Amino acid sequence: MLLHRAVIPCLRQACRLQSVPSRLCIRACSTNDSLQPQCPSLAFSGANSSTRGWRVMGTLLGLGAVLAYHDHRCRAAEKSPHIYTREEVKSHSSLETRIWVTLGCEVFDVTEFVDLHPGGPSKLMLAAGGPLEPFWALYAVHDQAHVREILAQYKVGELSSEDKAPSTLKTSDPYADDPVRHPALKVNSQRPFNAEPPPELLTENYITPNPIFFTRNHLPVPNLEPETYRLHVVGPPGCQSLSLSLDDLYQFPKHEVTVTLQCAGNRRSEMTQFKEVKGLEWNAGAISTARWAGARLCDVLAKAGHQLRETEAHVCFEGLDSDPTGTAYGASIPLARAMDPEAEVLLAYEMNGQPLPRDHGFPVRVVVPGVVGARHVKWLGKVSVEPEESYSHWQRRDYKGFSPSVDWDTVDFDSAPSIQELPVQSAITEPKDGETVQSGEVTIKGYAWSGGGRAIVRVDVSLDGGLTWQVAELNGEEQRPRKAWAWRLWQLQAPVPAGKKELNIVCKAVDDSYNVQPDSVAPIWNLRGVLSNAWHRVHVRVTP
């Protein structure tokens, strides 16, 4: 009877473990193929009933012990966290596969929280399948106890110990030493690295945070030591050249200026949709704004003995990034611009109050306000004044515009000037193309900028493809006449016309010279896909 009291509760408990997917539990509680729980009988008869009874009792006792141990293991497994690899987490990056993220070594399934996210679903989706840390670093509001308490409710496991730290293996790959990038960046090429921020983050702030500033690299990123860095400034005939350390540059008067940089290929993907071009498929994010600080180029050139000339001259820049043949990236600007204090050309060593990040030219880069990004040479190693523009491939055989009729069989790069100042530009960053918006009122956001220091005076927005227009509100720093180096962010809140099931949203900007964007890509298409500044168009659906 003691054995009976010890074993039978275990058997009855095992019979109740319907949630444990174990053949052991099923077989212990079943005597037929119906798999219905039926506990074994303890009734015995016949000559050997006593022996048989003790044997059965022993068997049941052992079975009860096994079942009790199995139950213990099941409960322990429920308490122990599931272990996942980063690859497993990465596979959960859509609503179909569920949205997983990591924080530290913990894994969370935040699918049910996506629509509840205070910053909007699109912001949270940027981290889908990856770590939250890079995004929380951008928004300090997340680093609060109640936010972590909310997140804790969605924990599903932990990262494998092998996946908690990134690999530090060295290889012979020239790009192996490239810096770590922010996961929000939309990558257009890995080698060399080129990426843009997603539109919903691009205009979140007037000043673009360093980690999501668009990145345009032509070659591997050099890893330069600030202690041994030297900038070679070639002097004019009869004058000695300068070899400047970072400390030497710090001795020049420090100048700060807010400048927008835009790649010549920004919005190239729209030209590709019209007709194929050669180049990276930039969307509308190859543009960003930062507060730069450094020495004025005119002060450094004057220190080396240079002055304005009556004849044409160019300041040539050479970077310390190079290809396997030793060819470095190079570009040039007219000497007149470089020597003009009002042009505010910098040899910058700070970006948004911090030393330049490696991807953006550490320790020193050129910043040429109002001029195409291709002339803002990074990892600057040499400056010289020459009678002709740089012989660099990127100055002579790239970054030039041509007629739509010119193809690769007829192109003559010597016939076109190198791009310097860029045309007026604007784009919509919210809502995104293909998005669904609510009926009632829609909020539209974007940016506008023009080259050469020309200020943005107006942004027009249409909800019906350009049939009717409304004027957007301009935000950001006030722009100085002829020195409007930075963009204007803009916003429009407009009622959605009753009964509309879709909106064809269009924007166009006007600068203070009354330059305005063309209405379509066709008349400005060119084989390199540069200078793409047609009206920006976004098509969205409307929910009732």
Whether 399 is catalytic is: yes
d(CA 274, CA 221): 33
Backbone phi, psi, residue 249, to 5°: -65, -35
Whether 142 is catalytic is: yes
Q: What is the DSSP string of 317-360?
A: EEEEEE-TT-PEEEEEEEHHHHH-GGG--EEEEEETTEEPPGGG
| Catalytic one of 4, 72, 73, 117 | 117
| Catalytic one of 399, 488, 507, 528 | 399
d(CA 317, CA 329): 8
104-109's contacts with Cβ under 8 Å and 24+ in sequence apart are: 104/133, 105/158, 105/159, 105/164, 106/155, 106/157, 106/158, 106/159, 107/82, 107/155, 107/156, 107/157, 107/158, 107/159, 108/151, 108/154, 108/155, 108/156, 109/154, 109/156
Tell me the chain's radius of gyration from C-alpha atoms.
33
3-state secondary structure 394-445: HHHCCCCCCCCCCCCCCCCHHHCCCCCECCCEEEEEECCCCCEEECCEEEEE
Backbone phi, psi, residue 513, to 5°: -100, 10
CB atoms within 10 A of CB 104: 11
Whether 458 is catalytic is: no
| Catalytic one of 263, 298, 316, 507 | 263
Q: Is 232 helix (H, G, I), strand (E, B) or coil?
A: strand
| Catalytic one of 86, 92, 182, 216 | 216
Backbone phi, psi, residue 289, to 5°: -130, 135
Q: Given strand 441-449, what is the order of strands in its sheet?
A: 425-430, 441-449, 488-495, 473-475
Provide the β-strand partners of residue 180: none
| Catalytic one of 142, 232, 291, 458 | 142
Whether 117 is catalytic is: yes
Contacts of 370 (CB under 8 A, 6+ apart): 343, 421, 451, 452, 453, 454, 485
d(CA 227, CA 238): 30
Query: Tokens 């080698």, residue?
Result: 191
Residues for the chain: how many in total?
544
160-168's contacts with Cβ under 8 Å and 24+ in sequence apart are: 160/83, 160/84, 160/85, 160/86, 162/85, 163/85, 163/86, 164/105
Q: Is 117 helix (H, G, I), strand (E, B) or coil?
A: coil
Query: Tokens 């050099």, residue?
Result: 222
d(CA 407, CA 286): 25
Q: Decide the pairing of beta strands 254-262 and 365-367.
A: unpaired
Structure tokens at 82: 């599931």
The answer to whether the beta carbons of residues 21 and 73 sit under 8 Å apart is no
> Residue 374 carries which side chain, given as an amino acid letter?
A
> Residue 125 carries which side chain, given as an amino acid letter?
M
Whether 12 is catalytic is: no
What amino acid positions are annotated as catalytic residues? 117, 142, 216, 263, 399
